[in-house]
Amino acid sequence: MNAAAFDFMIIVPAFVAGLLVLATHVPLGAQVLKRGIVFIDLAIAQIAALGVIIAGSGSLDPQGWTIQLAAGAAAVLGALLLTWTEKRWPDVQEAQIGVLFILAASAGLLLVAHNPHGGDHLQDLLAGQILWVSYPQMIMPAAGALIILALLYFFNERMGRLGFYLVFALAVTASVQLVGVYLVFASLIVPSLAVRHYRARLRLPFAYLTGMLGYASGLVLSVWFDLPSGALIVWCVAAVAVLVYAFGPKPEPARD
């Protein structure tokens, strides 16, 4: 097997993982922009990562179901808390999401402070290790993606505040351990930002295309130049989004 074939075999499962994340995060990202709660994904993703850190402080298998359960439980609790805060203080919900994010991030730092490998573990949760994702790791996220897509298809217009937050928590729980917190945010927000002025029927296809081109180019360039995959994919998704926006329909001028 030559070097090019070896690189390709590394990229393929990573790209499949990216497609799994995009499958649910693109439509959820559109809902996030519509609801005006852009930073909810960062907060829920960080809370899910905190659940992983808490569970990982014991002698648990990092790929086991207990870690997944801990991340899911933490994300659901965060979703329930944000549901309550939005109901109680809706005028400052975005600020409350930001506060919850910084508290979860700070708690993660405190928990790994005395762990000799804590810094590496925290970096993996933030930037991800998508290039080393294996097919067995994608079984549970794939099942979760099917459930989420079914819920969005059948209940999208009837999904209330609590339902949306719980579905969101389920999606983020699976994706944050596959691709990291940074790529979770980029996958949710950047494609939807790029297509916001497109016709309604074109937004979802072009948002998916934006994410797919960003992941593909980022993975190829990261292998080619031996750079961190997660960080480079974020930049590539943003670069593709700029092009999609620039060559797309222009917003109507504001009327006086």
pLDDT, tens only, 108-150: 889 888 777 667 767 777 888 898 898 988 988 898 899 999 9
Question: Which top CATH class is 3-246?
Answer: mainly alpha
Nearest to 145 by CA among 233, 42, 15, 18: 18
Residue 61 has a pLDDT of 54
139-to-34, 67, 168, 240, 254 alpha-carbon distances in Å = 31, 15, 19, 29, 47
Whole-model pTM: value is 0.85
Does the structure show a pLDDT above 50 at 256? no
Residue 35 has a pLDDT of 79
Does the structure show a pLDDT above 90 at 234? yes
For the chain, what are the domain ranges?
3-246
Does the structure show a pLDDT above 80 at 241? yes
